[in-house]
Amino acid sequence: DVKVTQSSRYLVKRTGEKVFLECVQDMDHENMFWYRQDPGLGLRLIYFSYDVKMKEKGDIPEGYSVSREKKERFSLILESASTNQTSMYLCASSSNLGGTYGYTFGSGTRLTVV
């Protein structure tokens, strides 16, 4: 069964901490994405990557950075966590092949910053 795996389901971090959210996919997908999900706001794109070592800003990149050193892994970094970054974070991947561009999502990481 193909998967996108997010390393933690729940995280509690303190304000000012550096936080790493990890995402791994086993489908050899070229594209990977990080979203945050907040009630009433839907899914908002933070960063995405179309290839190894490549990254592009999404709609809300402020306060975040990403790293993609290997094709299967896409990390989201909160340089200095703040309470307004408390949210559900979703990682997704997709392939350029076969004419279908649907995303496969991970189960999400619920981050609380206190």
Residues in touch with another protein (CB under 8 A): 4, 31, 33, 40-43, 45, 48, 50, 58-59, 90, 92, 94, 96, 99-108
- 101: phi > 0 → left, psi -120 to 50 → alpha, else beta; which? alpha
Supply the minimum distance, in Å, between the C-beta of residue 105 and another protein. Answer: 3
* Smallest distance, another protein to C-beta of residue 106, A: 5
Within 10 A of 5 (CB to CB), how many other CB atoms are there? 14
**Residue with Cβ nearer another protein (107 or 112):** 107
Q: How far apart are the first and last CA of the chain?
A: 36
Taking the C-alpha atoms of residue 44 and residue 52, their distance in angstroms, rounded to an integer, is 22
Least distance CB 28 / another protein (angstroms): 15
Smaller CB separation from another protein, 57 or 73: 57
Phi and psi, residue 29, nearest 5°: -75, 145
